[in-house]
Structure 1
Amino acid sequence: MQKWILKNPKFDFKKMSKELGISELLCRIIVNRGIKDLDNARKYIKADLQGLNDPRLMKDMVLGVSIVQEKIKLNKKIRIIGDYDVDGVVSTYILYKALARCGANVDYAIPHRILDGYGINNSLVENALNDGIDTIITCDNGIAAREQIQFAKESGMTVIVTDHHDVPDIIPEADAIIDMKQADCRYPFKLLCGAGVAFKFTQVLYEEMCIPREEEAEFYEFVAIATVCDVVDLTEENRILVRKGLNTIADTKNIGLNALLQKTGISGKSIGVYHLGFIIGPCINASGRLDWAMKGLKLLLIDNQQEAEALAAELYELNNERKSMTVKGVEDTIETIENSDLKGDRVLVVYKPEIHESIAGIIAGKVREKYNVPTFILTRGENCVKGSGRSIEEYNMFEELLKCKELFTKFGGHPMAAGFSLDADKVDILRERVNSITTLTEDDLIPKIYIDAHIPLSAINIRTAEELSYLEPYGKGNTKPLFAEKNISVRKATVFGNERKVLKLRLQNGNSFVDCVYFGNIDEFDTYVSERFGSEELQNIYAGRNSIIKLDMIFNIDINEYNGYRNVQIVLQYYR
């Protein structure tokens, strides 16, 4: 069951259309994205590098760069400490390459997910001390590492924090803290990922060190990968950086990345957000999940073709292993829920000790998608139980965990995702507590599908599809527009594809016809149609005979390119 909601903002679309020289339909979608000012709408459509903000507006940016300049001048040893996910690996890569280009005496360290945990820790600080490191630069972490940074400072080291996470009440006493989410930071865009902040640092450093501006272009593709994989909103600067990165990645000069493109079979293809988020990123991430993220970083830094191919193959296989583990974990978790009283809970807390802790968050996300309820997956850690959660819009996961904070030895997160550690005897207490305090209603748990516009089939043509490309790239905060139409007649159905998992429909509305593809569950579609119209009518559409089947549909509008021909088609998402 879903609730279909048509967005219907009050706005003068005719005037905006005339001013911008685009269709009223496109104007409606832009306004649905919260962009009503004409200047911002122009920037949104253009989405070029001129729309990036001045990095010097970021608090402590100039200070941090000046400290690094002085350390380079004095040949002091600098260590970058990143994190083990894609954003952390890419942030480390960008800062390391940039500092090395500027002549710095620099190296790097990335914590081990299982042995070290997230971000900088005392062990990493001690290692730096033993190695004679003068300055630590964190990336994609550090804003909450008050004790660890205090230890580094008391040990005589300089510390610069570059991060993008939410700022705690008490911040570390570092020499410079670069995080645009600080209350007194004037930087206007607050949603950069860690690699985005590292890139901004690089822009200022290159300018101060008189490095040609065009050299920063080598980082566009990497910022794009990290931005998509860290699932930050693809709005404003993020959208610009991802669009630029997508334009450059196919011609990458990076030997390791190119080897990964070859290994995954996407070299030479038109690369989009999907490829970054579901093919390239997960391979880099797999090393941090099942091995050590240094392998992902090594791939990006490698300069030997043969070694790059071998390492790309290793990461590819690690990701395949991760995918197999995830599928089994999801299946086992769903079986546990279906065969227990967990199914009645409005907040799922599922303890599966055998699941690898590195994929608990992925599994939580898959289970959340199936049941549309906030989901925590708990696994057995070294000395405790570890949990990872994924939420729905109506449930602020971090705030709800805050109400149970006495149960945890450690916790943190955001409204839509969180993680924690607790003792095994607290698992049942946690489940009872989060369900007893939740204010979620039945209505909150009904999935809401927001429709950008009602559009008849007669208005769907190649020109409409081409104009929609102005809105790309799509992602969180800038989702692919959804359209709807009622009482669409289904004239023909065909199943095709190597694994026969694609349903192609010929649709009619009035005198208009259009092709439609559906990548969802075909068996469910057939069952639904049979129950409402009869099995004979289902057989009719597969035989291409007249039928009485009519459906309401929500869909995307796409262009199908095949053998040199370009045709408009719709991609079915929901039906009733």
Structure 2
Amino acid sequence: MEKRWVQHGNSDQTSTTLLAQQLQIDESLAQILVQRGIHTFDEAKFFFRPNLADIHDPFLMKDMDKAITRIGLALDNDEKIMIYGDYDVDGTTAVALAYSFFSKFTDRIEYYIPDRHKEGYGISNTGIEYAAANQFTLIIALDCGIKSIAQVAYATSLGVDFIICDHHLPGDTLPDAAAVLDPKRADCLYPFKELAGCGIGFKLAQAYCMAHGLDADQYEQYLDLVMVSIAADVVPVVDENRILAYHGLIKLNNNPCMGLKSLMDSTGRAKIFTLTDVIFSLAPRINAAGRMDHAKQAVKMLLCDEKEMAETQSIFINLQNTDRKTSDQNITAEALSLIQNSESMINRKTTVVYNENWNKGVIGIVASRLTETYYRPTIVLTHSNGLLTGSARSVAGYDLYEALLTCADLLVQFGGHKFAAGLTMSPENYDLFSERFEQAVASTITDDLLCPEIQIDTEISLNQIDGKFQRIIAQMAPFGPGNTAPVFVTHDVYFTGRPYIVGDKHLKLNVKQQNSAIFESIGFGLGAYENIIMPNKPFSICYTIEENVWKDQKRLQLNIKAIKTDRES
């Protein structure tokens, strides 16, 4: 699928020039920093040298004082505490963090993860009833609960208090809990709004340590778990998240918890893990537990403190991930066939597909794959407990959540954010919902948004790329939403030698400009260009710059994202 090239303009040349002089860096790199809100030397220092001393005071979060008071009361009175969390990576890492931390102060503590297939997302009455029947009087809910008004009221009627630690967007009314920690609540003045659910749990542990005079290493030891949640939950890697992710990666690569160490070893990667490696290697494995069986297996692995047990759990998790791959590949093929064989679905602005036999645990992955193929807002539904339950995925720049709001009367429940959501509905509403959702999207989405785009940071010549240039780019990591790896565009390049195909569809070639060095390049999925680009004919490339390591030799490599053979196209 062809992509639109969208290049940033430099609207602040004065700041760019001054910053380049102060930092003694290439002006193109200074331009990228300015585009990302970094205008001064001090702001650059904060960015390039993430410091744990700069994370925010947890007591700036609304209700944090109430949460610490209620937990202290529970510990003083020897109450039973339940740590309750979602079944995805963010939820399981949050549960592992909170359970491990508070287990230092009481042995009257358990964790609970709802069954994805039987209980569904969020706080369930089943979980509440289990707590009440087993004399738990306090539930600390992580990565869920901000809209669980009825469930919290039900728990209160059974003598069970709640502390909500969530990062999703609240509704108009908050649950009547002992404390509600969510930076996105309207009356919360916490300076950073984009923490992951595990990040809220981390702030809770930080606050407890501050209130009781405990050393910072009592909560900083969980930075690897927080970093994994940041990567997996695709939250912006800026401000506090950047600090946590930066130091979390250091811990992951030097002294990870036993469970993550075993999982890293099982991937067969003998190298330094980046945030991208976490997203594509570790997160899917942790997620597989909740998709194929029960997420408590992932928590069990993350809590292991014995090598042999951790290895056993990681082997089990890997087997589940293999099953997950097979399942999502099969369902994706079925869904694509369903779309391709339906004339009415081809020209729509949305994709809504349903099959009662699809595995509830993998339909979110399938929705993402369908979005990649057709690039339009997508919903994949299956049957569960008498209802249709589904996952929704959007395209860049389009607010899926707002479209779902227009269909709220047809839904039993829904929740999420602008790019991803979950929903349930009665089976009889499927056809009407499909049409209403199509109408809502078609009336609000623009044609540009239905074409994937490549955001280009700036234009450079190949002569600007050298070791220092790449080292500064590397210091901009960790990369993620809000701080993506810089994408460059260069025009009038030529290939040398002969391009060739690797792995069936990837393009391998060497490129240069007049009077420039030759750069090794790889274009994943760009194999079709082998016979399109011609010798001695200039073309344009947009790309990221990487350091490729092969047999202990390090070379700069261009990772080409797209090619244009016509400057005016």
Question: Fold conserved (TM > 0.5)?
Answer: yes
State the 1:500 CA deviation. 6.0
Q: Is the contact made by 1:518 and 1:572 (CA closer than 8 Å) also made in structure 2?
A: yes
SS state at 2:180 partner: strand
Q: Specify the alignment match of 2:118 in structure 1.
A: 115
The reply on whether 1:28 has 2:31 as its aligned counterpart is: yes
1:184-211 Cα distance to aligned partner (Å, 9 max, x none) = 1111000000110100110111233333
Match of 1:567 among 542, 555, 560: 555
Match of 1:518 among 504, 515, 522: 522
Q: Specify the alignment match of 2:382 in structure 1.
A: 379
Return the alpha-carbon distance in structure 1 between the equivalents of residues 537 and 48 of structure 2: 39
Q: Specify the alignment match of 2:448 in structure 1.
A: 443
Return the alpha-carbon distance in structure 2 between the equivalents of residues 154 and 37 of structure 1: 55
1:342-388 Cα distance to aligned partner (Å, 9 max, x none) = 11001111223332122111111111122221111122223122221
Q: Is the contact made by 2:28 and 2:460 (CA closer than 8 Å) also made in structure 1?
A: no
Q: Which amino acid aligns with 2:206?
A: Q
Q: Is the contact made by 2:381 and 2:388 (CA closer than 8 Å) also made in structure 1?
A: yes
Return the alpha-carbon distance in structure 1 between the equivalents of residues 5 and 526 of structure 2: 21
Match of 1:81 among 77, 80, 84: 84
The reply on whether 1:491 has 2:496 as its aligned counterpart is: yes
Q: Specify the alignment match of 1:506 in structure 2.
A: 510
Q: Specify the alignment match of 1:309 in structure 2.
A: 311
Q: Specify the alignment match of 1:325 in structure 2.
A: 327
State the 1:561 CA deviation. 2.8
Q: Specify the alignment match of 1:540 in structure 2.
A: none
1:367-423 Cα distance to aligned partner (Å, 9 max, x none) = 112222111112222312222111013421111111112221222221111221123
Q: Is the contact made by 1:284 and 1:315 (CA closer than 8 Å) also made in structure 2?
A: yes
Q: Is the contact made by 1:81 and 1:119 (CA closer than 8 Å) also made in structure 2?
A: no
Change (3 A) 1:22 1:50: farther
Return the alpha-carbon distance in structure 2 between the equivalents of residues 549 and 366 of structure 1: 35
Aligned residues with identical type, % of pairs: 30
Return the alpha-carbon distance in structure 2 between the equivalents of residues 16 and 304 of structure 1: 50
Q: Specify the alignment match of 2:11 in structure 1.
A: 10
Q: Which amino acid aligns with 2:463?
A: S
Change (3 A) 1:37 1:143: farther
SS state at 1:191 partner: coil
Q: Specify the alignment match of 2:197 in structure 1.
A: 194
SS state at 2:517 partner: strand
Q: Which amino acid aligns with 1:507?
A: V
State the 1:38 CA deviation. 5.0
State the 1:47 CA deviation. 1.8
State the 1:326 CA deviation. 1.6
SS state at 2:136 partner: coil
The reply on whether 1:475 has 2:475 as its aligned counterpart is: no
My pick for the range that moved more, 127-136 or 428-437, is 428-437
State the 1:20 CA deviation. 3.7
Q: Is the contact made by 2:224 and 2:257 (CA closer than 8 Å) also made in structure 1?
A: no
Matches within 5 A, 1:7-156: 7-11=8-12, 12=14, 13-36=16-39, 38-103=41-106, 105-156=108-159
State the 1:9 CA deviation. 2.5
SS state at 1:240 partner: helix
Q: Is the contact made by 1:16 and 1:27 (CA closer than 8 Å) also made in structure 2?
A: yes
The reply on whether 1:347 has 2:335 as its aligned counterpart is: no
Q: Specify the alignment match of 2:175 in structure 1.
A: 172
Return the alpha-carbon distance in structure 2 between the equivalents of residues 357 and 175 of structure 1: 33
Q: Is the contact made by 2:520 and 2:556 (CA closer than 8 Å) also made in structure 1?
A: no
Change (3 A) 1:401 1:548: same
Q: Which amino acid aligns with 1:448?
A: E
Return the alpha-carbon distance in structure 2 between the equivalents of residues 525 and 380 of structure 1: 43
Return the alpha-carbon distance in structure 1 between the equivalents of residues 518 and 50 of structure 2: 31
Match of 1:463 among 463, 468, 481: 468
Q: Specify the alignment match of 2:540 in structure 1.
A: 552
Q: CA RMSD in A?
A: 1.9
State the 1:69 CA deviation. 1.5
Q: Is the contact made by 2:147 and 2:175 (CA closer than 8 Å) also made in structure 1?
A: yes
Return the alpha-carbon distance in structure 2 between the equivalents of residues 492 and 424 of structure 1: 59
State the 1:522 CA deviation. 4.7
My pick for the range that moved more, 357-366 or 210-219, is 210-219
Change (3 A) 1:340 1:492: farther
State the 1:552 CA deviation. 1.0
Return the alpha-carbon distance in structure 1 between the equivalents of residues 451 and 162 of structure 2: 47
Q: Is the contact made by 2:501 and 2:530 (CA closer than 8 Å) also made in structure 1?
A: no
Q: Is the contact made by 2:196 and 2:233 (CA closer than 8 Å) also made in structure 1?
A: yes
Return the alpha-carbon distance in structure 1 between the equivalents of residues 506 and 399 of structure 2: 36
Q: Is the contact made by 2:523 and 2:562 (CA closer than 8 Å) also made in structure 1?
A: no
My pick for the range that moved more, 113-122 or 42-51, is 42-51
Return the alpha-carbon distance in structure 2 between the equivalents of residues 501 and 476 of structure 1: 27
TM-score normalised over the length of structure 1: 0.93
SS state at 2:103 partner: helix
Return the alpha-carbon distance in structure 1 between the equivalents of residues 36 and 67 of structure 2: 35
1:432-466 Cα distance to aligned partner (Å, 9 max, x none) = 22222322232331222221010111111121111
My pick for the range that moved more, 500-509 or 554-563, is 500-509
Q: Which amino acid aligns with 2:360?
A: E
Return the alpha-carbon distance in structure 2 between the equivalents of residues 487 and 18 of structure 1: 29
Return the alpha-carbon distance in structure 2 between the equivalents of residues 169 and 9 of structure 1: 40
The reply on whether 1:452 has 2:457 as its aligned counterpart is: yes
Q: Which amino acid aligns with 2:459?
A: H
State the 1:292 CA deviation. 0.4
Specify every segment of 5 or more residues in structure 1 that has no aligned partner in the other structure, as ranges: 538-546
Q: Is the contact made by 1:386 and 1:422 (CA closer than 8 Å) also made in structure 2?
A: yes
Q: Which amino acid aligns with 1:548?
A: N
Q: Is the contact made by 1:20 and 1:42 (CA closer than 8 Å) also made in structure 2?
A: no
SS state at 1:548 partner: coil
Change (3 A) 1:502 1:392: closer
TM-score normalised over the length of structure 2: 0.94
Q: Is the contact made by 2:507 and 2:530 (CA closer than 8 Å) also made in structure 1?
A: no
Return the alpha-carbon distance in structure 2 between the equivalents of residues 333 and 517 of structure 1: 35
State the 1:249 CA deviation. 0.8
Return the alpha-carbon distance in structure 2 between the equivalents of residues 522 and 9 of structure 1: 30
My pick for the range that moved more, 555-564 or 269-278, is 555-564
The reply on whether 1:185 has 2:172 as its aligned counterpart is: no
State the 1:494 CA deviation. 5.0
The reply on whether 1:239 has 2:242 as its aligned counterpart is: yes
Matches within 5 A, 1:421-436: 421-436=424-439
Q: Specify the alignment match of 1:209 in structure 2.
A: 212
Q: Specify the alignment match of 1:542 in structure 2.
A: none
State the 1:323 CA deviation. 1.4
State the 1:430 CA deviation. 2.0
Q: Is the contact made by 1:462 and 1:559 (CA closer than 8 Å) also made in structure 2?
A: no
SS state at 1:128 partner: helix
Size of the aligned set, in residue pairs, is: 558
Q: Specify the alignment match of 1:285 in structure 2.
A: 287
Q: Specify the alignment match of 1:334 in structure 2.
A: 336
Change (3 A) 1:345 1:222: same
State the 1:160 CA deviation. 1.2
SS state at 2:222 partner: helix
Q: Which amino acid aligns with 1:304?
A: E
Return the alpha-carbon distance in structure 2 between the equivalents of residues 401 and 229 of structure 1: 24
Change (3 A) 1:493 1:383: farther
Q: Is the contact made by 1:514 and 1:570 (CA closer than 8 Å) also made in structure 2?
A: no
Change (3 A) 1:323 1:517: farther
Match of 2:413 among 410, 423, 433: 410
